[in-house]
Amino acid sequence: MNASPGLLDEDEVSEYATFSHGLYIGGQWRPSSDGRVIEVVDPSTESVIAAVPDATLADAAAAVDAAAKAAAAWRETAPRKRSEILRRCFELMTERAETLAVLISLENGKALRDARSEVAYAAEFFRWNAEEAVRISGEFGLAPSGANRIVVDYQPIGICVLITPWNFPAAMATRKIAPALAAGCTVILKPASETPLTAYALAALYEDAGVPPGVVNVLTTSKPGPLTAAMLADPRVRKLSFTGSTGVGRVLLAEAARHVISCSMELGGNAPFVVFDDADLEAALDGAMIAKMRNAGEACTAANRLYVQAGIHDAFAEGLRKRMAALKVGPGTDVETECGPMITRKALEKIDRLVKDAVRRGAKVLCGGAASDDKGFFYPPTVLCDVAPDSEMAHEEIFGPVAPIMRFDDEAEVIARANDTEYGLAAYIYTRDLAKGMRVASRIESGMIALNRGLMSDPAAPFGGVKQSGLGREGGQKHGISEFLEAKYIAVTM
């Protein structure tokens, strides 16, 4: 397959779309039980590039059956063997990186440079968890009474339902699948219907790496609510891991509570990006461009509120304007593109609504600020200043290439404003004073802080939020894999 960068012709698009083989259940590719399909749209052109099966309740039941059938053998597979399979997944992802990156750009719209970074990041979850698979240890101790020994064994939690979003179709899947498999669990992945092709391409890769049939199953559906509810109602399913909006997360938590299902939730964000007067201006601008424009702002960790201290405010605003205005907007598969389209027309309209609301409340547009009338869901990189605290975008995820700048005067003020949100996923701080940076970091209510950095994600670090941004952690030393393990206590008289 030609995976060279640049615009794809119709034949190449068709070739990439063949990654849709059908639902992947029990190691077999199959259509949906009623023959219905979901169309996949290229957000750069608004053209249909593929159709994938639209799973039914019967298909969901079949996936649970397949995961259950494979569970005992995979659970008993030696940790070293599981580790070697996961390592092979990493190697194959690395070998096929360019093909996967172009596929992501095609169905998601993200710039090819971002897609390449995503594939590298996604592959690392397999390498990291290949190493963790052989390091699951128990505990042995003496009871305080001295009467018996306390033995704690860690076992796979069971069948896991994994639900992933469209914005990182490779990384959000591997961040869940890799630790689940390392722990000895079998899984059912429900990827976003906007970006299913990557999930199916990875399913084929897992098979090539030696993952046994039924250990990983993939379902695409236009009816995620009923299908998820049906799977959670099956007593063999013991885990739900979800990445997506807080609103949907609340619904899923309620459904899981009916069946006492263990849940991991990585939900919405409203990340503050705080720049103090003593910050290195160029470093802060570099960081802002990464934190804001990674994946064109379509990330839960994206800088959503840029608080800049009065003394550096004007220089920062002008510097950011120049950089944002210079970005090349275009199709994700074009190697020169720096900002691709938004995922859907609905997403584009939301961004436009938030910008217009901010302008009505007094914000000034420094660059961008209006959606294109051309084909594709494009919104230009936009910088706003003098954004009012009561603007909708100060309280709602923008999920797009819009940087709202707000002035502040002192440390206490910016901490209060940063914490004035129901979310608490990510935050960014720029200052040359390390003591101040650590002090502010300890007071900002967020699960993750990037201090003088524009990027925080790392497979070796625990990813997750506080407040309405989620439950549990993904990645990190034992944090990620522990979400898929249960502790079993055995009292022993010796």
Positions annotated as catalytic residues are 266, 300
Record the tokens describing residue 438, joined without a space. 């650590």
DSSP assignment, residue 212?
P
C-alpha 83/C-alpha 132 separation (Å) is: 8
C-alpha 169/C-alpha 173 separation (Å) is: 6
* CB within 8 Å of 449: residues ≥ 6 apart: 426, 427, 428, 429, 441, 456
Q: Which has the closest alpha carbon to 199: 208, 186, 190? A: 190
CB 147 within 8 A of CB 125: no
DSSP assignment, residue 30?
E
What residue type is assigned to position 455 of the chain? L
C-alpha 249/C-alpha 37 separation (Å) is: 26
Record the tokens describing residue 28, joined without a space. 């077999």
Q: How many CB atoms lie within 10 A of CB 311?
A: 13
C-alpha 417/C-alpha 423 separation (Å) is: 12
Record the tokens describing residue 200, joined without a space. 């199916």
What residue type is assigned to position 204 of the chain? A
C-alpha 169/C-alpha 120 separation (Å) is: 13
Q: Which has the closest alpha carbon to 35: 16, 54, 8, 63? A: 54
CB 380 within 8 A of CB 372: yes
